[in-house]
Structure 1
Amino acid sequence: MGIIKSAIDVGIKPRCHFEDITRADFYGFVVPFALELKKLMDESGIPIKIRACDTLGYGVSYSGAALPRSVPGIIYGLRHHAGFPSELIEWHGHNDFYKAVSNSAIAWMHGASSVNCSLLGIGERTGNTPLEAMVIEYAQLRGTTDGMDTTVITEIAEYYEKEIGYSIPSRTPFVGKHFNVTQAGIHADGLLKDEEIYNIFDTSKFLNRPVGVAINSHSGLAGIAHWINTYFGLSGVKKIDKKDERVAKLKDWIDDQYKDGRVTAIGDDELLEAIGELTPEILDLAL
């Protein structure tokens, strides 16, 4: 308490980090300490924030879970037993058990006004709560982005990879190279009929990331047609149908690539080269 009082004396509005709160004696120490902070706040008139830190990622969001691991219980206790208002409570989560996002969301829902995040979830050990994840979570909970430009998420990812040299795992939600790329032909066939069939949301609108198809031995005619239309931005009368004979030519070439045991997907550059040799008129459609 002494250092907190000294901070207030010199005009600092303290933020107190309750480290390792998901392993602490909640009613034996956390609440009594928070009550003392509340008294000091009331006496001084200076707001004191509490940052509830899940330092080792032990928190769980399940209803009925026991303290100190219960995130709902922690936030409820700080509000109703220690008397702290929502605007002075924030959650700081780690991802050791893959629960950083779910715990942050449940902390919001039980009264924490803010959650701590890092870009792309980068942090020690397994990382922290990804900022981009909570932007999308916020939109789902509230039904609005409240003016946030969600396409910046894609720009952030590009900056980290191109300027910083950070490698983002390809299947990372929202920012990974393959997060909205399908490899199965039946899914690509659905995409051709209606994108809502096999895309999680309008990724073009919200992330400036059109849904994609990875071409491999399972892509089929539908997958190849979808790749062509997406890559070249073809629509309307220019849009290629899976029954187009040019698509069939490309499928024969792709099938040949896998006859000798190839298992990797065919890259964009390879496809472009094959199109240039086998069906160059497709390139003219993109003009």
Structure 2
Amino acid sequence: MAKETIMVLDTTMRDGEQTPGVAFSADEKLKIARKLDELGVDIIEAGAPMTSPGERKAIKSIANEGLDAEICSYVRGKKSDVDIALDCDVDSVHLVVPTSDLHLKKKLKMTREELKKITVETVRYALDHNLIVELSAEDSTRTDREFLREIFQLGIDEGAQRVCACDTVSMMMPEQIQDLFSYLSKNVKVPLATHCHDDFGVGTANTIAAVRGGAKEVHVTVNGLGERAGNTALEEVVLALTKFYDYKTNLNLEGLYGISRLVENAAGLPVPPTKAVVGDNAFSHEAGIHTHGVLAQPSTYEPVAPEMVGQKRRLVFGKHVGSHAIRSELKKRGLKPTEEQVKEIFRRVKELGDRGKLVTDAEWSTIADEVMGRSLEKIIELEELTVTSGNKITPTASVRLKFKDMDMVEAGVGIGPVDAAINAIQKVVEEVSSIRLEEYHVDAISGGTDAVVEVVVELTDGKRVITSRGSSGDIIMASVQAMLNGVNRLLWDKKLRGS
């Protein structure tokens, strides 16, 4: 029996952008839209055009990009909002009207009859201007069911093509959501959508429950972005529907990790390592019994193959590591350690882990090299670093690095002195390799006026992703050390591979 296809509306660039501190530029929005389209998202809610001229420009550029997805604009129950959306050349409007008595009385100061009149007029106006209309009821889960059905029916009678019930502040649990959607799906004759938030940590569960109750479309955001505790996460819903139920989506699951990283960088909000599906730890294993099991048969400790969502399996070396993982990693690198060498590497890694340290890839590799008598050559060395920063001065850094027999000099600017220094080093590195910085964070800071800061960076050369650490009383030097330690590690490994 063929699986039923569930439509996906992504609202990362509208509801997701309502995350405090998140604001996408027009260029970032266009990049995200292209990636979402490539992923196979059916409907892209590109933004709320009444927000600003910049928002309208961004939405219009997406609408005119020639994407396969339906490009949608958020509007309120106002003809003026529809006019602004029309100026953005969108295909559809997500027309949202509050329906709960709480919202009507306290926010809109409006009666139910007044809301019905506005809803009918706005739906008709949008349809008369050849827009697809998806009518959403805000705060549906605190709305009288019969009135909710009536509002939807009024929109449908005018010609609205889809309707959506919103659990705006997560006021229902999964069994309640499923019951509500079972009722609605029997009483509306157009596709029914679900829009859930994660205030109680059940956004994904509620969305799936709504689908099981009859919803044909899900509203989601990449990485679960959204105000308060966020919206339902796209990556969690589409994978769960595919893995556990007789549903499918039009999305290419292998692109989930890629879109997650793109949105993470644009939003400036790091994805927690423990985030389901796309977090760095989602397919990472450290505990000895787990690494032993996953090496013997991946399904022992992995619900799906990491490649299914564009991820890679990673064995982490720390206080819980087992000797099987160490042997496996050394073998993968073409090394043939003795039993005594394995034991010594095992001991040193455990010792570092017991001190409460994250054992980075570069540190683990250095331990292995030392124990096996392979000295790491510093292929790139810092000769000089100058940083200028201050009030009304653009932070600028200049570096002189020694690469083989050459002195290489570059300068960089940034939003701060650390950013400027890293940008300067990145310019030099780009001249000799394809290594780029993927992630930066401060791992630890000791107390006191003589505090030591530890910086951990994640670097990639396109084939491998490694972590590296730098420590110093100066955060700029700690950052530079972390970068150069990682770059040297990748270049050294590449030299050993002969590639």
With normalisation by structure 1, the TM-score equals 0.79
Give secondary structure in 1 for the equivalent of 2:165. Answer: strand
- Whole-Å separation in 2 of the counterparts to 1:109 and 1:126: 24
Per-residue deviation, residues 70-93 of structure 1 (Å, max 9, x unmatched)? 21222122222xx31252x11110
Partner of 1:84: 188
Offset of residue 97 of structure 1: 0.8
- Whole-Å separation in 1 of the counterparts to 2:321 and 2:118: 64
Partner of 1:71: 177
Give secondary structure in 2 for the equivalent of 1:17. Answer: strand
Q: 2:144 aligns with which of 25, 50, 53?
A: 25
2:215 counterpart of 1:97: no
Per-residue deviation, residues 193-213 of structure 1 (Å, max 9, x unmatched)? 22222222111x213322222
| Equivalent residue letter for 1:177 | D
Alpha-carbon contact 1:50-1:90 (below 8 Å) kept: yes
Offset of residue 147 of structure 1: 5.9
Stretch of structure 1 that moved more, 92-101 or 173-182: 173-182
Partner of 2:133: 14
Alpha-carbon contact 2:223-2:234 (below 8 Å) kept: yes
2:227 counterpart of 1:124: yes
Matches within 5 A, 1:48-63: 48-62=161-175
- Whole-Å separation in 2 of the counterparts to 1:36 and 1:145: 31
Offset of residue 115 of structure 1: 1.0
Matches within 5 A, 1:100-249: 100-142=203-245, 148-162=251-265, 164-203=267-306, 205-228=307-330, 233=332, 238=334, 244-249=339-344
- Whole-Å separation in 2 of the counterparts to 1:117 and 1:247: 47
- Whole-Å separation in 2 of the counterparts to 1:168 and 1:109: 29
Offset of residue 138 of structure 1: 2.4
- Whole-Å separation in 2 of the counterparts to 1:35 and 1:53: 16
Structure 2 residue runs without a partner (length 5+): 1-115, 376-492
Change (3 A) 1:23 1:144: closer
Change (3 A) 1:134 1:183: same
- Whole-Å separation in 1 of the counterparts to 2:265 and 2:167: 32
Offset of residue 264 of structure 1: 2.6
2:360 counterpart of 1:267: yes
Give secondary structure in 2 for the equivalent of 1:98. Answer: coil
| Equivalent residue letter for 1:267 | T
Give secondary structure in 2 for the equivalent of 1:148. Answer: coil
Alpha-carbon contact 1:184-1:223 (below 8 Å) kept: no
Partner of 1:67: none
Give secondary structure in 1 for the equivalent of 2:312. Answer: coil
Change (3 A) 1:250 1:162: farther
Which structure has greater strand proportion?
Answer: 2
Change (3 A) 1:50 1:187: same
- Whole-Å separation in 2 of the counterparts to 1:32 and 1:160: 38
Offset of residue 286 of structure 1: 5.0
| Equivalent residue letter for 1:191 | V
Give secondary structure in 2 for the equivalent of 1:116. Answer: strand
Offset of residue 16 of structure 1: 2.4
Alpha-carbon contact 1:86-1:112 (below 8 Å) kept: no
- Whole-Å separation in 2 of the counterparts to 1:256 and 1:31: 64
Partner of 1:252: 347
- Whole-Å separation in 2 of the counterparts to 1:119 and 1:223: 33
- Whole-Å separation in 2 of the counterparts to 1:115 and 1:105: 9
Alpha-carbon contact 2:320-2:350 (below 8 Å) kept: no
- Whole-Å separation in 2 of the counterparts to 1:246 and 1:147: 50
Per-residue deviation, residues 50-103 of structure 1 (Å, max 9, x unmatched)? 2101011112112xxxxxxx21222122222xx31252x111100011111011
- Whole-Å separation in 1 of the counterparts to 2:261 and 2:304: 21
2:118 counterpart of 1:3: yes
Change (3 A) 1:161 1:228: farther
Offset of residue 251 of structure 1: 0.9
Alpha-carbon contact 1:212-1:227 (below 8 Å) kept: no
Offset of residue 162 of structure 1: 4.3
Which structure has greater helix proportion?
Answer: 1
Alpha-carbon contact 2:138-2:168 (below 8 Å) kept: yes
- Whole-Å separation in 2 of the counterparts to 1:173 and 1:239: 34
- Whole-Å separation in 2 of the counterparts to 1:176 and 1:166: 13
Alpha-carbon contact 2:276-2:282 (below 8 Å) kept: yes
Change (3 A) 1:35 1:163: closer
Change (3 A) 1:163 1:35: closer
- Whole-Å separation in 2 of the counterparts to 1:177 and 1:131: 17
- Whole-Å separation in 2 of the counterparts to 1:190 and 1:239: 22
| Equivalent residue letter for 2:358 | A
Alpha-carbon contact 1:19-1:55 (below 8 Å) kept: yes
With normalisation by structure 2, the TM-score equals 0.48
- Whole-Å separation in 2 of the counterparts to 1:265 and 1:102: 33
